[in-house]
Structure 1
Amino acid sequence: TRQKLIWGWGKIQQLTANNATYSEQFYEARYQLAFCRWQYAKGLQDATQRADEIRRAVYDIESTAKLFPELGGPLMKKKFQALLKNIQANSN
Structure 2
Amino acid sequence: MDDTQFIVLMIYDIVDDKRRAKMVHCLESFGTRVQKSAFEGFLTKKQYEKMMTRCKKLIDPKTDSFRVYVVEKFVDTYSFGIDKRQKFDCFVL
Q: TM-score range by the shorter chain?
A: 0.3 to 0.5
Q: TM-score, normalised by structure 1?
A: 0.36
Query: Larger strand proportion, structure 1 or 2?
Result: 2
Q: By percentage of residues, which structure has more helix? A: 1
Task: Report 1 or 2 for greater relative contact order, CA contacts < 8 Å, sequence distance ≥ 6.
Answer: 2
TM-score normalised by structure 2 residue count: 0.35
